[in-house]
Amino acid sequence: MSKTITLYTKDNCRMCWASKRKLDSLGATYAMRAVDLPTVESMQDLEALRAEGYQEMPVVIVQHGDGSQSSWSGYRPNLIEEYCRPEEKAA
């Protein structure tokens, strides 16, 4: 089962870039979305994250292949390791 990873970031956010580096070091495939751009989509993303109760950046949302979701905010390398590692290919 595949998963979809989205990393929501802001400019000049050290924890955002640390999360990006950790994802990159694992070889994870993910989408990165900035929530501080002057676009309608960026503002909608930020409003949606706030409505879900997130108060700090980055926000990482992992949609698992079974329909479940894992998400968190802040730099959480332990959770990135646990939920964002690429899946092993069957031999």
3-state secondary structure of 6: strand
- Report the pLDDT value the prediction gives residue 86, as an integer from 0 to 100: 87
Per-residue pLDDT of the chain (91 residues; tens, 9 = 90+): 589 999 999 999 999 999 999 999 999 999 999 999 889 999 999 999 999 999 999 999 999 999 999 999 999 999 999 999 987 665 5
Question: Contact 7/16 with Cβ under 8 angstroms?
Answer: yes
How far apart CA 46 and CA 65 sit, in angstroms, is 25
- Report the pLDDT value the prediction gives residue 29, as an integer from 0 to 100: 96
The CATH number of 4-84, from 3.40.50.1860, 3.30.56.10, 2.20.28.120, 3.40.30.10, is: 3.40.30.10
- Report the pLDDT value the prediction gives residue 87, as an integer from 0 to 100: 79
Domain ranges of the chain: 4-84
Q: What is the pTM of this model?
A: 0.90
